[in-house]
């Protein structure tokens, strides 16, 4: 069984004071939300073997906060430029290359790509919009990541900071 946890980066400043969308940073609310969602994942006993994140500052910051709260070493975080403003196919491409020894992977990225990829994978679920720091998790029955498109995919949950749990 393989588990994929898709996470949209946490809440950010409206514009980057240091210039450009790529450099937008998390707000105080975003940092709090990332910590809270990490704790919800911990309560569900969902701990990643690897966190794959967009290299955009807001996604990397979200990954670092989640890793810290799950007590994961920084070596478990892999940054990828290709996850910044990517199409759903980029997620599938990266997932197919994941090491098969990893059972659970978190992927932290951006809308609209992450919402589109989630909906492509978990049909018939329909999530119109993954909000900031929203999480969509699913599991599939396979031994290799590259077998995901043909595997039986099961929706696990959709959660987000303003969701009352």
Within a domain: 140: no
pLDDT at 148: 86
Within a domain: 108: yes
Per-position pLDDT tens, the chain of length 165: 999 999 999 999 887 677 788 889 999 999 999 999 999 999 999 999 999 999 999 999 999 999 999 999 999 999 999 999 899 889 999 999 999 999 999 999 999 999 999 988 876 668 989 999 999 999 999 999 999 877 788 899 999 999 976
Within a domain: 65: yes
Number of domains in the chain: 1
136 CB-side CA count, 13 A: 26
Within a domain: 139: no
**Cα 129 to the center of its chain, rounded Å:** 14
Within a domain: 124: yes
How many CB atoms are closer than 10 A to CB 8? Answer: 26
Q: pTM for this one?
A: 0.95
Within a domain: 110: yes
Nearest to 119 by CA among 104, 94, 102, 138: 138
For the domain that residue 124 is a member of, what is the CATH number?
3.40.50.1240
Q: E strands along the chain, which residues?
A: 2-8, 50-54, 77-80, 104-109, 135-140, 153-159
Within a domain: 99: yes
pLDDT at 126: 84
Domain of residue 64: give its range. 2-11+21-134+145-159
**Cα 93 to the center of its chain, rounded Å:** 15
Within a domain: 41: yes
pLDDT at 27: 94
């Amino acid at each position: 069984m393989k588990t994929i946890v898709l996470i949209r980066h946490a809440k950010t400043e409206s514009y980057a004071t240091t210039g450009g969308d790529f450099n937008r940073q998390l707000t105080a609310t975003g940092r709090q939300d990332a910590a809270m969602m990490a704790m919800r994942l911990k309560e569900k006993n969902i701990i990643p073997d690897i966190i794959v994140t967009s290299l955009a500052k807001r996604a990397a910051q979200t990954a670092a906060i989640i890793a810290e709260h799950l007590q994961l070493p920084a070596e478990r975080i892999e940054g990828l430029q290709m996850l910044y403003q990517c199409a759903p196919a980029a997620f599938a491409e990266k997932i197919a290359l994941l090491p098969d020894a990893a059972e659970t992977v978190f992927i932290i990225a951006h809308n609209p790509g992450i919402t589109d990829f989630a909906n492509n994978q978990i049909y018939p679920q329909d999530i119109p919009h993954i909000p900031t720091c929203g999480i969509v998790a699913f599991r599939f029955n396979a031994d290799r990541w590259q077998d995901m498109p043909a595997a039986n995919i099961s929706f696990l949950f959709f959660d987000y900071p303003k969701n009352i749990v």
